[in-house]
Chains A and B, each alone.
Chain A
């Protein structure tokens, strides 16, 4: 027995190119306003990394007709709000009491249409400083915090937009020019490159009417051309990074199918059956039975241009990364040869279905219904993808999971990164090259 899970909606495109999606859910008197711009760090270039995210900060500093901090009027109206940038998109959202819906639309449309007149060099400089602090707090001053930077740099060639992380290089951030803000805004922040989702206590027709009122007169822009880039790893790359950590950790990374491409859902299922929960193959072996590791995790990092599959495990005190990596390889080989068991597939599907259901519990915020509708619309051009998305997991078979493991998790095309306590490079996998990130 399965549960039918749907996410009903209506969509229209305004004459200026803005996609508007409305989903009604009248249980709680709140509305989620969720706005995506199809721009992220993948639209940056070498030497200018971190710009898309710094720009997101500037979007909260005021616009022509409300020339002050973005938070004040909205918090005063009871809104919860935030924004985020990743490699592929930038999103902004407010969850407002129904009574403050128009205020949120006014504010979002004002910064979409009229940001530049309010932008000053001083605001730019302050936010540059804030972002440098964000980088120190979340990367430089955090154990293992530089791992993804080192892995991305090794997986993707220097000109590939996934070579760098969204936070950017500190040097690039310091070198950023205020003048670059203008062209970035004109290129990416306009209706044709955006998608607006309204979810919650709102009538569908009223939603479209309000969207037209607030966003209808913002001039259309030109849809930016999409970014294409290829990346592959032709051998096994072994790296070591010394860090302020107590215990060594090994990361294994492979290129994997792009978001929604064939094999992407299988990547999620593989991650689950390898490392999610005590029943997973690697947890059971490394942590439960042999007690060689403190933890193990796996993740199919799905992205627009190309994904990577990431495994990581922290050694228990006195245990060797080499032996941990050898056991991981053994289990991967087993999966590539024999595929998962029937019961592992059942369990994986049960969890996937439940998680789809749990995501429907909230209208707003990161990952809520409004955010999902925009994700489908921006990445698939069609918000009606909820059923298809879940269907990918329902259609996966033992054979398709085995084939994905065999095709993508190859031992001779991957990056292995050892993070070890300072001064203990000998704890890394043999043959690892020192790598420096800053």
Chain B
């Protein structure tokens, strides 16, 4: 006999399932390379994450894009293998290979079937530590990146990201996209790439995470066989600086900037300011605060701008966490006619959360629940686990971090949310950027109360 459902109320939730992060085994190879292994059963797949300290924040001044072009050169040939041969070797083991150049680290990912794990590791090791760096390949890759940069000027979100970083970080190594600038890309030489590679891809700046359907012993043996022979000579080249330690100029950028895009169907918006470092003890409270303001579908901003006013397909806020100070920002794309009102609504919501309309008990519990109850799904796939373990090292977090996360978020109170909103959000410091139709928006934008409106060309 099947019982029928009671539709007079929502079904009660069961108890939250206990969450255990799998054991992270620590190893150090003879060459000093730190290795972390995690056993992850289910699908016979192995993921390697090689995380190198530095990232775009290590780009020298006037050489923005150096870290990224260096990373890009690493699948362009090694030993007797040409760029084509490397691509072929990856395809033959069904490998997925990609590189992410972040603010503080460059992350190389390779995922392959478990039966090819040894071959995958060996190939990755040769690519990363013995790249050919041929002249012809360098010139081709440089030109492709210059052309891509030119194409980005067509893409409103990319134009916005680029200009916004410059406004947030005037004259700071965090103040550019990984791809860099046209002038820097034209100026960079192959020798500089070779040196940057030699200075950054060294065991002391690296951590390898291996996650897959094998035992710790097998995983570390594979890592050791492939990466144990790698030595970096740090005597020859100075290690690049770390962006997190460079002082930040907090207040010299104009408050309102427009990048004109005549006839644009929508305005791409960025609003925010530098706000917090990843190591702040207020991290859990900031996550909760963000969820309430704009970090999820049911947030105040999305409900107002999308679900009430239909100004946009969606709006999100977030912290861009870095070792050094990172921005809090709102991003959205709104109907041109709604540009100014979207900005003032956003500023109002930011301001209200600081005290006028503090987080309600329901908002607090929704935000906490959405951050914690679904937490285990962030660790379903080997690559998610590997990336997470990499984050622990990047931000100096203990291995127990993931298991403590839920408890820490649930300990946040409404008063904490108000306090961190007051401490870390400041509407009077918000930098507003509009990529959109200048003529159609100028009149209403000038009435927003910003001292003046600056105009930037799309190519930056």
Chain A interfacial positions (CB closer than 8 Å to B)? 1, 3, 25, 27-30, 64-66, 69, 71-73, 75-80, 95-100, 102-103, 106-107, 109-110, 114, 125-134, 136-138, 140-143, 201, 209, 212-214, 216-217, 244-247, 277-279, 284, 287-288, 291, 294, 314, 316-317, 346-347, 350-351, 353-355, 357-358, 360-364
Contacts and interface: CB of A to CB of B under 8 A. Distances in A.
Contact of A97 (B4, B16, B379): B16
Given A102-B14, A247-B151, 14 more contacts: A64-B7, A72-B366, A75-B370, A78-B370, A79-B373, A99-B15, A106-B5, A110-B7, A133-B333, A317-B147, A354-B93, A358-B96, A361-B42, A361-B380
How big is the B interface, by class? 35 or more
Contacts of A129: 310-311
A362 B42 CA distance: 10
B147 A98 contact: no
B375 interface: yes
Contacts of B156: 141-142
A246 B151 contact: yes
B306 interface: yes
A247 to B, nearest CB: 6
Contacts of A130: 306-307, 310, 312-313
Given A106-B5, A133-B334, A350 B93 contact: yes
B312 to A, nearest CB: 5
Which A-B residue pairs are the 7 nearest by beta carbons?
A: A78-B373, A354-B94, A129-B310, A29-B17, A78-B374, A99-B14, A143-B154
Interface string B61-105: 000000000000000000000011011101111111000000000
B161 to A, nearest CB: 15
A214 B266 CA distance: 42
B154 A245 contact: yes
Contact of B369 (A1, A76, A131, A142): A76
A347 B313 contact: no
Contacts of A27: 41-42, 380
A246 B43 contact: no
Nearest to A98: B17
B186 interface: no
Given A247-B147, A362-B380, A133 B308 contact: no
B316 interface: no
Contacts of B144: 287, 294
Where chain B touches its partner, the secondary structure class is mixed
Interface of B: 2-5, 7-8, 10-11, 13-19, 41-45, 83-84, 86-88, 90-96, 111-113, 115, 140, 143-144, 147-148, 150-151, 153-156, 264-266, 268, 296-298, 303, 306-308, 310-313, 333-335, 365-366, 369-370, 372-377, 379-382
Contacts of B93: 350, 354
B365 A78 contact: no
A346 B296 CA distance: 44
B20 to A, nearest CB: 10
Given A25-B42, A71-B297, A100 B13 contact: yes
Most buried by A among B15, B148, B370: B370
Most buried by A among B2, B10, B88: B10
Given A76-B365, A97-B373, A317-B147, A347 B88 contact: yes
Contact of A354 (B17, B86, B113): B113
B313 A133 contact: yes
Contact of B87 (A127, A246, A277): A277
Given A80-B377, A214-B5, A133 B83 contact: no
B92 A347 contact: yes
A294 B155 contact: no
A317 B17 contact: no
A353 B380 contact: no
Nearest to A61: B307
A274 to B, nearest CB: 14
Contacts of B42: 25, 27, 361
B381 A362 contact: yes
A141 B150 contact: no
Contacts of B16: 78, 97, 99
A244 B435 CA distance: 14
Contacts of A246: 150-151, 153-154
Nearest to A278: B87
Contact of B83 (A69, A245, A278, A314): A278
A363 B14 CA distance: 20
A361 B382 contact: yes
Contacts of A353: 94, 113
A294 B84 contact: no
A213 B44 contact: no
B313 A29 contact: no
A78 B150 CA distance: 41
Contact of B5 (A71, A109, A128, A284): A109
B2 A209 contact: yes
B412 to A, nearest CB: 16
A65 B8 contact: yes
A77 B13 contact: yes
Contacts of A106: 5, 7, 10-11
B151 A140 contact: no
B351 to A, nearest CB: 24
B370 A361 contact: no
Most buried by B among A1, A78, A106, A109: A78
Contacts of A128: 310
Contacts of A214: 5
11 contacts: A3-B44, A28-B379, A29-B19, A78-B370, A97-B374, A130-B310, A131-B313, A141-B264, A246-B151, A294-B147, A357-B44
B175 to A, nearest CB: 24
A130 B302 CA distance: 11
A213 B5 contact: yes
Contacts of B154: 143, 244-246
Nearest to B312: A133
Contacts of B87: 277-279
Given A294-B151, A361-B382, A355 B7 contact: no
Contact of B13 (A28, A103, A137, A360): A103
A435 to B, nearest CB: 19
Contacts of B44: 3, 357
Contacts of B7: 64-65, 106, 110, 114
Contact of B84 (A3, A28, A97, A278): A278
Contacts of B151: 143, 245-247, 294, 314
A80 B19 contact: no
A351 B94 CA distance: 4
A28 B296 contact: no
Nearest to A29: B17
Nearest to A143: B154
Contacts of A73: 10
A290 to B, nearest CB: 11
B91 A79 contact: no
Contacts of B296: 71, 75
Contact of A102 (B11, B91, B112, B265): B11
Contacts of B84: 278-279, 284, 288
A30 B369 contact: no
Contacts of A142: 155-156
A289 to B, nearest CB: 10
A75 B153 contact: no
Given A77-B13, A245-B154, A357-B44, A30 B374 contact: yes
Most buried by A among B19, B266, B311: B266
B388 to A, nearest CB: 14
